[in-house]
Structure 1
Amino acid sequence: MEEQITQTKTLTLQPVTEADYVEVVDLINAATRSFVGHNIVTLNEFATDLNTLDLNPAKDTCVVRVTDGEPLAYADFWAGAEPHVRMFGFVRIHPQHKGEGVGTAITGWLESRAAQELTTAPDGLRVTLGMRAYGVQSNAQAFLDSCGYKHVRSNYRMTIELDGSIPEPVFPAGIVLHTIQPDEADLRRALQAEQEAFLDHYGAIPEPFETYFQRRKNMLLHDETVDLSACFMALDGEQVAGADFNAISLADDQETGWVGSLSVRRPWRKQGLGLALLRNAFREMHQRGRKRVGLFVDAESLTGALGLYQLAGMHVQYETRYFEKELQPGKDIANIG
């Protein structure tokens, strides 16, 4: 356990334990609701994530409290895809405890954890630590800027209301839609196509497929909101042209479906396949009684995804901003366009 003394109180920083889960989930959702009006995680999802993602809760999570008091903030750290040169921090501070030195304490913990990982980073490669803030979080953005972080990218959360007038998806000639089965073979085919397509996304880092596959498979098979019967591959003969993985709810919101990922490989782009997969997902969610569908998109998507989603009738609900701090200068192996 670590202690930090601020101007007003003594804070304790320690890894999350199972006994903390309920309070931490309540904190995460309260902080998120204060900015965007909805929850982002359930208790089961939080527990599952800690046990299936590439992190060690004992060293990669932090709960900030006043001694023996309620949690004031939570953070977790992910070293990113190998060779761990693009690291990420997730932070939530309880809305009733802003401006009390909590942000400084939790950011200091994240940077200390990143510094530990930095000792194993390959020489000559650029290493960064990134964090996100909602577009309306002006104070958080100013704080990150004062700590040396720079706003380098934005994402939009987009939604569409499902009113029954969704056009029939029109697939390119020769494309056959296939429901992804919960078996090794289907998941490998779909995720191999996804990884290849996503290498064209901002920030993507090449990594061995087996590493990518195991991480994504664990996430998909253990996420209670993902139903593979609502996930699809677009096949051109024996080749996977594209795929989408969808969730049938979003946290505790049973009225919203979610497009977790939609990928089209290069040879099949600009032929209407992405639009067809998206409209198929909309119709699938409508048939399941969902009132809307949402997703996140890079605001400056290198593959033109933003324009595709607008064409499909989706609208921007809010913005999230990605802030990055350089920890080690060098060659950037991430795709930055």
Structure 2
Amino acid sequence: MATIMTRPYLGAKDLSKITNLVEVSNPTGYLDGDTSVCELPAMLAEPESDNSRNIRLWEDANGNLVGFGQLLVFHTPETVDGWLIFFTHPQVSGDGLESEIIDWAERRMRWLGREQQLPAVLHTDVRDDTLSRQAWVERHGFHRDRAFVTMKHDTPNTLESRPMPEGFTLRSVSQNQADIKAWVDLFNQSFCDHWNHHDIDEATLQRWLSNPHNQSDLNLIAVSSRGDFAALGYGYINPEENARTGENVGWIKWLGTRRNFRRRGLGKTMLLATMRQLYSKGVEAVKLSVDADSSTKAMSLYQSVGFQPLETWISYTNALYL
């Protein structure tokens, strides 16, 4: 491998270099099934991300960025979970830099595990058609844990009309404190039995809602006659991503129903309502990412309204010995 030096992330001035590297390394411009390179600025600005230690850059002798690794770290009572996002320039791909980045991530996660006195688990997502990348992570002891399918719907004229189930009303989420608190509780209760769920807090939701592309009427909730938040549909349109790809799409980022309100038709009703809101904004298609083995059989729900699979991302896991 040619001379390559590593250094920490130096802030906003590195952002364009990282963006260019991602797009050269992966022309789709996606970091996982539903996270675009256009969302990197927000990810790098997360206040709890500890960028000085959880991001590393690799440069060649001329100062060109050829490698990037970022760890997104989540703490649970049982483990310290880290998601590794990494890219290498095609000119150095296969020369050992991928292994160097993974080694760095493993060392960092072991350190965090020892600090918290908890087992450390490292994850990374790989598109199923990138066989060399799969081979790299498997050589490092990762095993396939889950598959996530990116799906697309582009026939708005086929959407059925479906009223809210009796006893529930549909409205958007406001940014008052009561709604924020109730929505966070709804989110955590809706996804607590999903694979590798991590609770969010009110500060996290506030950051999501402060995104300049957030549109309040795309973030819907079903409210029971008692005032309980029962189900949610969170839609999102990123004009920067659409300009980059030349597409005109909206995303369903979250769709969930609180466990004690399931099997009442709320899931499909919220799905259709969120899709209609996205289409009303002028998008030509709606996308989402779904756990292929979801315990709620979400993929079947999406197929029932006309979503078709586009690509599959494999989530790899490596439980690290401390």
Per the normalisation by structure 2, the TM-score is 0.90
C-alpha distance in 1 between matches for 2:195 and 2:42: 27
Partner of 1:90: 85
Identical-residue share of aligned pairs (%): 19
Q: Secondary structure at the match of 1:52?
A: coil
- Between the two proteins, the alignment pairs up a number of residues equal to 314
Partner of 1:166: 159
Shift of the 10–258 alpha-carbon distance from structure 1 to 2, 3 Å rule, reads same
Unaligned runs of 5+ in 2: none
Opposite residue 223 of structure 1, the aligned amino acid is: N
Q: Which amino acid aligns with 1:215?
A: T
SS of the aligned residue for 1:151 comes to strand
Instruction: Tell me what 1:144 maps to.
Output: 137
1:40 aligns with 36
Shift of 1:175: 1.0
Pick the aligned partner of 2:295 from 296, 302, 311: 302
Q: Secondary structure at the match of 1:172?
A: coil
Counterpart secondary structure, 2:45: helix
| Mapped partners of 1:113, 1:127: distance in 2 | 10
The 5-angstrom pairing of residues 112-151 of structure 1 reads 112-122=107-117, 126-151=119-144
Unaligned 5+ runs, structure 1: 1-6, 330-337
2:211 aligns to what?
223
The Cα offsets for residues 282-303 of structure 1, whole Å up to 9 and x where unpaired, read as 1111111001111111110011
Is the deviation greater in 114-123 or in 134-143?
A: 114-123
Pairwise CA distance, 1:147:
0.6
| Cα separation, 2, equivalents of 1:203 and 1:108 | 23
Q: Which one of 212, 218, 222 corresponds to residue 201 of structure 2? A: 212
Separation in structure 1 between the aligned mates of residue 161 and residue 81 of structure 2, nearest angstrom: 40
Instruction: For 1:1-337, list aligned pairs within 5 A.
Output: 7-33=1-27, 40-42=36-38, 45-52=39-46, 54-83=48-77, 84-122=79-117, 126-205=119-198, 212-218=201-207, 220-237=208-225, 238-249=227-238, 251-253=240-242, 255-328=248-321
Q: Distance in 1 between matches of 2:22 and 2:210?
A: 20
CA shift, 1:93, in A, is 2.1
Shift of 1:141: 0.7
> What is the aligned-residue RMSD (CA, Å)?
2.3
CA contact (8 A) 1:235 1:241 kept: yes
Normalising by structure 1, we get a TM-score of 0.86
Name the CA shift for 1:95/1:284 in 2 (closer, same or farther; >3 Å): farther
Q: Give the deviation of 1:251 after TM superposition.
A: 4.8
Contact 1:40 1:251 (8 Å CA) reproduced: no
From the superposition, tell whether residues 172 and 39 of structure 1 become closer, same or farther in structure 2 (CA, over 3 Å).
Answer: closer
Q: Deviations over 1:214-263 (max 9, x none)?
A: 22332x12333321221111001211110122112365216110111111
Paired position in structure 2 for 1:334: none
